[in-house]
Amino acid sequence: MNISTEISDRKMKQRLLKDKIFTNAMIFLAFLSGVPLFLILYQLAIKGYRQLNISFFFEEAPDTMEAMVAVANNEIIPGGIANGIVGTLIIVGLASLIAIPVGIICGTYLAENAEGKFAGLVRFIVDMLQGVPSIVLGVIGYIWIVKPVTNGFSALAGSVALSIMMLPSIVRSTEETLKMIPGTLKEAALSLGVPYHKVILKVILPTGISGILTGVILGISRIAGETAPLMLTALGSTVVNTNITEPSSAVPLLVWEFYNDPNLVNMIWSASLFLLLLILGLNLSAKAIAKKWKVQY
Amino acid sequence: MESTILKQVQMPTEQKYKENVVIKNPIENIESPVLKIDDLSVSYGGDKYAIQNVSAGIAKNKITAIMGPSGCGKSTLLRAINRMHELYPNTHNKGGVYLGDENIYELNPIQLRRKIGMVFQRPNPFPTMSIYDNVIAGFNLNGIKLKRSEKDEIVEKSLREVALWDEVKDALHNRGTFLSGGQQQRLCIARALAYTPDIILLDEPTSALDPIATSKIEDLLVKLKKDFTIVLVTHNMSQAARISDYSMFMYLGELVEYGKTKQMFTTPKDKRTEEYLTGKFG
Q: Distance between CA atoms of B265 and B248, rounded to whole angstroms?
A: 11
Q: What is the mean pLDDT of residues A217-239?
A: 93
- Which of A1-15, A171-185, B69-83 has the weakest average pLDDT? A1-15
Contact B141 A207 (CB under 8 A): no
Sign of CA dihedral A70, A75, A78, A80: positive
**Distance to chain A for B106, nearest Cα, Å:** 16
B118 touches chain A (CB under 8 A): yes
**Distance to chain B for A119, nearest Cα, Å:** 15
Contact A187 B120 (CB under 8 A): yes
Contact A203 B128 (CB under 8 A): yes
Region of residue A32 (phi > 0: left; psi between -120 and 50: alpha; otherwise: beta): alpha
The pLDDT score that the predictor gives to residue A291 is 87
Q: Are A208 and A181 in contact (CB under 8 A)?
A: yes
A184 touches chain B (CB under 8 A): yes
Contact B110 A182 (CB under 8 A): no
Q: Distance between CA atoms of B195 and B135, rounded to whole angstroms?
A: 9
A189 touches chain B (CB under 8 A): yes
Which residue ranges of chain B lie beneath pLDDT 50?
Answer: 1-25
Give per-residue burial for B43-78: e unless 16+ CB within 10 Å, then b: beeeeebbbbebbbbbbbebbbbbbbeeebbbbbbb
pLDDT digits (tens, 9 = 90+) for A46-99: 998 888 888 889 988 888 888 888 888 888 888 889 999 999 999 999 999 999
Q: Compute the count of residue pairs across chains A and B with CB atoms less than 8 Å apart.
A: 79
The pLDDT score that the predictor gives to residue B24 is 46
Helical (H) or strand (E) element with B52: strand B49-58
Q: What is the mean pLDDT of residues A105-118?
A: 93
Q: What is the mean pLDDT of chain A?
A: 92
The pLDDT score that the predictor gives to residue B15 is 37
Q: How many CA atoms lie within 13 A of A205 on its CB side?
A: 16
More confident residue, A251 or B29: A251
**Collapsing DSSP states into helix, strand and coil, what is residue B90?**
coil
| Residue B156: closest CA among B194, B129, B128 | B194
Least CB–CB distance from B113: residue in A193, A203, A297: A193
Contact B114 A192 (CB under 8 A): yes
Task: Tell whether pTM > 0.95.
Answer: no
B216 touches chain A (CB under 8 A): no
Q: How confident is the model at residue A1 (pLDDT cuts 50, 70, 90)?
A: low
Contact A297 B138 (CB under 8 A): no
